[in-house]
Amino acid sequence: MISLKIFLICIGCIAAIMCLELQGIQEEIDSVIFDLKPEKIEDVKSVEDEYGNFWIHITLKEEYHGDFADLTEDNIGNVLNITYQNEVYAQPVIRSRITGGRFMLGPFEANEEAQQVFEMIQEGKKKVPGL
């Protein structure tokens, strides 16, 4: 499992998500799971920002936008465990409702880390028939 800090950021709405390290969460916070299954993903891109950080932009298919928005709204203040293939890859604290089905994972300080996560998600999408 990759040990890194992850921000979950809504694109197209205002959402502040607190960063937590995947290891060593100190306080007791309720959590909820969002399983990032390949069939839920419309698009995934690896992008470098102007500061040299790397991000994974994820867009969910439209039929999952409402469920994701409701999940984030119902769990403001809780940890969102983002899982992929039964592994937790991010644990941000939800600070607001995220609409539009678009979010980013990152920042990754090294392109290799971002590329590893990007390729894992892309490969999963290719294995699902019709994607």
**Token code pair at residue 89:** 């890859």
CATH numeric code, 5-127: 3.30.1360.200
Residue-by-residue pLDDT tens, the chain, 131 positions? 443 344 444 443 333 333 333 334 445 568 888 888 888 999 988 889 999 888 888 999 999 999 999 999 999 999 988 887 777 877 888 888 999 999 888 888 788 888 888 888 777 665 544 43
**What pLDDT sits at residue 9?**
43
Domain ranges of the chain: 5-127
**What pLDDT sits at residue 103?**
86
